[in-house]
């Protein structure tokens, strides 16, 4: 390790040091013992940079005013392993004392907070143990309970533009290797999985679409985005531009506003040297031989869900000659793969009329042979599936696909989410004839693999059927799973025959 470090240091507890040493890339607010500057000045405030808790009554806040610990799931928005304060209140004097202790971690006055000009959001911070051992270097978030997000564990790294370009090159070279020709539509940067904490970058042919979800990446955008453009240019890939989809509520947890639009590159003197409008915000991609319109300005998240790419291909192999019901179709991706795979008939269902309109347009893009074997329905599957069960499946569906949005984005709602997953899977199993096929998915990190499979086993038992597993699948490799970072392992997709 270099001895003359110029960066501030976050001194972390033994628990925080152990988490980093076992692979986790975050330092939580309560794990910071103090911040130190190279000058020797330090702030010992248990890591909290926000005032206010000292104003609460000694017994803690009322349930209505209790702070909310919930974050959105996944590597972009991790959630801490804490129980809601509301659940702890009323559980006895011990829990009341714990609650007061947590509240008093906050500074008593504004003067105890590290000044913004001294340590601004996005600052580069070394993380060290209580004994001073170097653990890694990351980016500071003053507003978030995730106080430091690591970007390297190598003390010899600098943080020049070349450092970020090298990391962007590694990320892109990995996608070219594992995706091959499919890299024309893929995730280029997957947040912590690529050591760009809080940054998502998807490629849709000639456009990069981004979500910037941490204060550190927000500050580094001019450097990181230019590095990405340079890397693609070096490979002879002409991009129209970078479109930002920062219309995400969780940016508020980092003190960031919501924004959308084309990113404008600026020269060192601050003058714009890139076009502020790079053209239409709809582009076409081809995935598994299926053509899609991608509305990256208005579609969900970055405009298209790329993580199910190869799971759709697996569904297509089973669909030949079958009558398929695709629930929560979004823009029709599973349904279109089934139709292109030779399905006799496919009904695509979604609660969103806008999504169904886009799915219908995508069917038209793929020609009359595909379009003529498809139907599109706006419906809530919690209403549709019971009706199909009651009427004994009059359309003779023998292949049902369940790919719902995440039913839970925190641990505290996992029980309710499990009931929702169980309900739709139970209904699907009751509807399908013996020998029919089921593809069922969950994209919630908190609904982990074991819990998801237990739920399926219980649903099958209640439905009076047996499941013959064909295969168990996960997300495509452009969304890499990093061991030691469980939040990167989020997508479940299982294929069964109902027997």
SS3 annotation, 24-49: CCEEEHHHEEEEECCCCCEECCCCCC
Q: Is 225 helix (H, G, I), strand (E, B) or coil?
A: helix
CATH C-level class of 282-498 = alpha beta
Supply the pLDDT for residue 99.
52
Active site residue 443: yes
DSSP 153: S
Across the beta sheet with 345-350, what order do the strands follow? 374-378, 345-350, 323-327, 399-402, 437-442, 492-498, 467-473
The residue ranges of every structural domain in the chain are 9-152, 161-262, 282-498
Residues 6+ apart with CB under 8 A from 450: none
Residues 6+ apart with CB under 8 A from 355: 329, 330, 331
Question: Distance from first CA to last CA of the chain, Å, rounded?
Answer: 60
Task: Tell me which CATH code domain 9-152 carries.
Answer: 2.30.130.10
Supply the pLDDT for residue 364.
98
Give the fold, CATH level 3, of 161-262. Transcription Regulator spoIIAA (3.30.750)
Tell me the average confidence (pLDDT) per consecutive run of 10 residues in the chain, 499 residues long. 78 95 93 89 62 42 32 38 36 52 50 73 95 97 92 96 98 98 97 97 98 97 97 96 95 94 72 64 96 93 95 98 97 97 98 95 97 97 97 97 86 87 97 98 92 97 98 98 93 97
Supply the pLDDT for residue 84.
35
By C-alpha distance, which of 402, 207, 178 is closest to 297? 207
Supply the pLDDT for residue 267.
52
What separation in angstroms does the CA of 273 have from each of 264, 267, 268, 458, 464? 8, 6, 10, 59, 65
Side-chain half-sphere CA neighbours of 348 within 13 A: 30
From the list 186, 327, 441, 443, the catalytic residue is 443
Cα dihedral 201, 79, 450, 403 in deg (nearest 10): -50
Supply the pLDDT for residue 40.
84
Contact between residue 187 and residue 201 where contact means Cβ atoms under 8 Å apart: yes
Residue 207: strand pairing partners: 204, 241
Supply the pLDDT for residue 76.
41
């Amino acid at each position: 390790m270099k001895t003359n470090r110029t960066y501030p240091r976050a001194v972390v507890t033994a628990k925080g040091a152990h988490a980093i040493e076992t692979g986790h890339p975050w330092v939580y607010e309560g794990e910071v013992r103090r911040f130190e500057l190279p000058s020797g000045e330090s702030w010992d405030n248990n890591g909290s940079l926000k005032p206010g808790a000292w104003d609460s009554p000694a017994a803690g806040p009322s349930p209505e005013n209790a702070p909310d610990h919930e974050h959105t799931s996944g590597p972009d928005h991790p959630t801490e392993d804490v129980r809601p304060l509301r659940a702890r209140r009323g559980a006895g004097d011990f829990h009341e004392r714990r609650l007061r202790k947590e509240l008093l971690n906050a500074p008593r006055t504004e003067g105890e907070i590290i000044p913004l000009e001294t340590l601004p959001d996005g600052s580069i911070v070394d993380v060290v143990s209580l004994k001073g051992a170097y653990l890694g270097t990351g980016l500071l978030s003053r507003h978030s309970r995730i106080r430091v997000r690591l970007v390297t564990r190598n003390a010899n790294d600098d943080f020049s533009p070349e450092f970020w370009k090298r990391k962007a090159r590694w990320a892109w070279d990995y996608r070219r290797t594992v995706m091959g020709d499919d890299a024309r539509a893929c995730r280029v940067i997957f947040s912590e999985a690529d050591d760009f904490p809080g940054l998502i970058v998807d490629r849709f042919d000639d456009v990069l679409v981004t979500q910037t979800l941490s204060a550190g990446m927000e500050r580094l955008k001019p450097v990181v985005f230019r590095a990405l453009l340079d890397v693609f240019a070096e490979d002879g890939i002409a991009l129209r531009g970078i479109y930002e989809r920062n219309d995400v509520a969780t940016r508020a947890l980092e003190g960031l506003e919501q924004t959308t639009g084309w990113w404008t590159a600026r020269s060192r003197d601050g003058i714009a040297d890139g076009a502020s409008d790079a053209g239409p915000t709809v582009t076409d991609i081809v995935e598994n031989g299926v053509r899609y319109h991608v509305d990256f300005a208005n579609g969900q998240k970055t405009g298209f869900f790329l993580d199910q790419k190869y799971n759709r291909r697996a569904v297509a192999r089973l669909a030949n000659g079958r009558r398929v019901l695709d629930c929560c179709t979004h823009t029709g991706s599973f349904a279109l793969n089934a139709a292109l795979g030779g399905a006799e008939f496919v009904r695509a269902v979604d609660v969103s009329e806008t999504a169904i309109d886009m799915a219908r347009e995508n069917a038209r893009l793929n020609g009359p042979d595909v379009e003529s074997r498809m139907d599109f329905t706006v419906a809530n599957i919690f209403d549709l599936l019971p009706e199909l069960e009651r009427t004994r499946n009059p359309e003779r569906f023998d292949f049902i696909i369940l790919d719902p949005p995440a039913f839970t984005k925190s641990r505290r709602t996992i029980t309710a989410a499990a009931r929702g997953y169980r309900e739709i899977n139970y209904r699907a199993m009751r509807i399908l004839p013996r020998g029919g096929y089921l593809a069922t998915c969950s994209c919630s990190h908190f609904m982990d693999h074991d819990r998801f499979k237990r739920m399926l086993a219980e649903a099958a038992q209640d439905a009076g059927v047996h499941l013959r597993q064909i295969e168990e699948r996960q997300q495509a490799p452009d969304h890499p799973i990093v061991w030691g970072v469980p939040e990167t392992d989020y997508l479940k997709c299982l294929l069964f025959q109902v027997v």
